[in-house]
Amino acid sequence: MTRYQEVAALLRQRIEHGVYRVGDRLPSIRALCREHAISISTAQEAYRRLEDAMLVEARARSGYFVLPRQAPAQLPAVTRPAQRPLEVSQWDQVLELVGMNRDHGVLMLGRGIPDLDAATLKPLQRLLAGLYRHGDALSASYDSLIGSLKLRQQIVRLATTSGCLLHPDDVLITTGCQEALAIALRTLTSPGDVVAVDSPSFYGTMQILKANGLKAMEIPTDPRDGISLEALELALEQWPVRAIQVTPTCNNPLGYTMPEVKKRALVRLAQRFDVAIVEDDIYGDLSFVTPRPRTLKSYDDDGRVLLCSGFSKTLMPGLRVGWLAPGRYRDQALHMKYVSTGASATLPQLAVAEFAAKGHYERHVREMVHRYQRHRDILLGWVGQHFPQGTRVSYPQGGFLLWLELPEAIDCIRLNERLAEVGVRIAPGSLFSASGKYRHCLRLNYAAALTPETAVAVRQVGEVAEAMLREEAELVG
C-alpha cells in the first residue's frame, strides 16, 4: 500500500466506525498533513480516493464532508443501450427543445443553461459594452481564422488546471462548443462511419452524427464512473469504429466524472486500437472537486484526443465562444472551421480574454461551483419528496444537470406534453439516445435560483408523473 492509500484506508475506517458522521467536516488537508506527516499532494490524493469511492465530497472553500452512506436517492444502474451501430433519430424532439421561441410564460426545467444573473458576471458585460463602444476597425473586421491570440493564451493558462500543457497554436476558437464538436467529428469521419459514444449522450452531438450520416455505437455507461471500458473494448473489436466521443468530466446528462485511472485507461485503449477520441469538456471547470479533474487530453501523448470546450456553461451561451484543441488533426480542423463559419466574431473573444486575464473567470467559476453544489442538494431533496416511488436519480459531481430515471411505465414525452399545459418543460430522456431509449428518463437543470416557483414546478413534474403512473395502473388493473 502506498502512503496515500494507507491514509485513505484509515479515514474510511473512521467513517465506517462513526468517528466522523454523515455531514461532518473532515480534517483539512493541512491537518491531515500534520497528523500523518505527509505531503499536501499525498493528503489530496487520499481524499481523491475517498471521493472516487463516494464516501466524502469536497465543497468549494469549505473542505471535505462525509456523504450519506446511501446517496440521497438511488443511482441508476449501468445503462443498456442497443448493441449495434444505429442511425440517429429524435430530431423532431430535439427541435422542440432547442427551436422554441423563448416564451416568458414557460418554466424551462430541462435546458442546459447556466445561472446568468450572477454578480460575478457583471464585469464581462462591462467589458463587452466597452469593446463594442470603442472597438476599432480591426476588431470590426474578420479575425484570423484560428482566433484571437489573447484568448488562446488565456485558454492555455486555464487548461493547466486540468493537467493540459497546450500551446496557443494548438487551440482553435470556434462558434460555441457545438462547432468544435462538429468540426472534430467531421474531421475524423466520412458518411457511413461508426462513432462510439457514452450513453446517454448530449443530443447536440448525436444530431451531428445524424447530419453527417454517421452511425452511433452506444456504449453502456455507469452513472457513477462513466463509459464501460469492457463494453467499449468489445465494440472496438467488433465494429470499425472511427472515433470515440465522450464527455468524461461532469457528464451531460449523468453528472459523473470518470476517475482518473479510468481516464488514463480509456486513452490507452484508444491508442491500442488506434482510434481518435473527441472529448467534450464543456462542463469540466464546473467540477465540485478542487482542483478540477484532469482531462483525457492530459493523458494524450500522441495527439489523438480532440478536446472540445467553451464558455457557454461557465459564462454565457449567447456569446457563442467555444474552442477546440485538435491535436494532430489541426490542419484538417482549420479547413473545416473555415468552411463552416469563417473566422469567429472578434469582440466576444477579446472580452472573454480580458475577463480571464483579470482573474474574473476563476472568481466567477468558484462562485458558481459553490452555488450549483448547494442547488444540487436542494433539488435532490425536492425530488425525494415529490417523485413517485422507484424514481432513481444521479448524483452530479459537477455542472448543473440532474438525471432522473422514473418507473418504466412513464413515457416522458407524454409527461412533457402534459406539463406544457401547466407551463413547465423538462428534457425527455429519449433525446439522449440514438434510437429513443431512456423514454422513462428526464433531465432537470438546477443552475438558476431555486425560487418558490421552481419548487412548485418540480413538484408538478413529480405529481404529473405520479398521476400518469396511477392511470397506467388503473388501465392495467
Binding stretches for ligand PLP (CB under 6 A):
112, 176-178, 202, 204, 247, 252, 280, 282, 310, 312, 317, 322, 342
Q: What is d(CA 445, CA 302) in angstroms, rounded to the nearest whole number? A: 37
Q: Enumerate residues 6+ apart whose C-beta is below 8 A from 306.
A: 184, 187, 188, 276, 277, 278, 279, 324, 325, 326, 327, 329, 333
From residue 169 to residue 188, what is the string marking binding to a second copy with x (rule CB under 8 A)? ------xx-xx--x---x--
Q: What is d(CA 419, CA 417) in angstroms, rounded to the nearest whole number? A: 5
Q: What is d(CA 406, CA 76) in angstroms, rounded to the nearest whole number? A: 10
Residue count, binding to a second copy (CB under 8 A): 66
**316 near a second copy, rule: CB under 8 A:** yes
Q: Enumerate residues 6+ apart whose C-beta is below 8 A from 376.
A: 396, 400, 402, 446
C-alpha cell at 265: 485507461
CB of 364 to ligand PLP, least distance (A): 16
Half-sphere CA count of 90, side-chain side, radius 13 A: 31
User: Which residue has its beta carbon closest to ligand PLP?
Assistant: 176
Q: Which of 129, 261, 467, 473 binds a second copy (CB under 8 A)?
A: 129
CB of 172 to a second copy, least distance (A): 11
Q: Which of 22, 40, 116, 165 binds a second copy (CB under 8 A)?
A: 116
Which range touches a second copy (CB under 8 A), out of 291-299, 313-321, 395-403, 438-446?
313-321
Q: What are phi and psi of 471, to 5 degrees?
A: -60, -45
**336 near a second copy, rule: CB under 8 A:** yes
CB of 208 to a second copy, least distance (A): 5
Nearer to a second copy, 173 or 267 (CB): 173
Contact 11, 43 (CB under 8 A): no
CB of 435 to ligand PLP, least distance (A): 20
**91 near a second copy, rule: CB under 8 A:** yes
From residue 148 to residue 167, what is the string marking binding to a second copy with x (rule CB under 8 A)? -x------------------
**128 near a second copy, rule: CB under 8 A:** yes
Q: 351, 341, 362, 371: which is closest to 145 by C-alpha?
A: 341
C-alpha cell at 142: 474578420
151 binding partner (options a second copy, ligand PLP, none; Cβ < 5 to 8 Å by kind): none
Exposure string (b/e) for 355-381, b if CB count within 10 Å is 16 or more? bbeeebbeebbebbbebbbebbeebbe
Nearer to ligand PLP, 56 or 306 (CB): 306
Q: 116, 97, 60: which is closest to 447 by C-alpha?
A: 116
Q: What distance lies between CA 184 and its chain's CA centroid?
A: 18
Q: Enumerate residues 6+ apart whose C-beta is below 8 A from 286.
A: 250, 313, 314, 365, 368, 369, 372, 398, 399, 400
For residue 207, the SS3 value is helix
**100 near a second copy, rule: CB under 8 A:** yes
**102 near a second copy, rule: CB under 8 A:** yes
**94 near a second copy, rule: CB under 8 A:** yes
39 binding partner (options a second copy, ligand PLP, none; Cβ < 5 to 8 Å by kind): none
User: 215 has which bridge partners?
Assistant: 87, 194
Within 10 angstroms of residue 390's Cβ, the number of other Cβ atoms is 13
Q: What is d(CA 466, CA 383) in angstroms, rounded to the nearest whole number? A: 12
User: 392 has which bridge partners?
Assistant: 405
CB of 66 to ligand PLP, least distance (A): 30
Nearer to a second copy, 181 or 235 (CB): 181
Nearer to a second copy, 112 or 200 (CB): 112
252 binding partner (options ligand PLP, a second copy, none; Cβ < 5 to 8 Å by kind): ligand PLP
Q: What distance lies between CA 409 and its chain's CA centroid?
A: 28
User: Taking CB under 8 A as the criterion, which residues in 198-227 touch a second copy?
Assistant: 204, 207-208, 210-213
132 binding partner (options ligand PLP, a second copy, none; Cβ < 5 to 8 Å by kind): a second copy
Cα three-residue angle 283-79-107, rounded to 5 degrees: 50
Which range touches a second copy (CB under 8 A), out of 22-30, 32-40, 89-97, 157-165?
89-97
Using alpha carbons, list the distances in angstroms from residue 413 to 98, 314, 417.
15, 29, 6
CB of 113 to ligand PLP, least distance (A): 8
202 binding partner (options ligand PLP, a second copy, none; Cβ < 5 to 8 Å by kind): ligand PLP
CB of 119 to a second copy, least distance (A): 13
Binding residues for a second copy (CB under 8 A): 91, 94-95, 98-102, 111, 113, 116-117, 121, 125-126, 128-130, 132-133, 135, 137-146, 149, 175-176, 178-179, 182, 186, 190-191, 204, 207-208, 210-213, 316-320, 334-336, 338-348
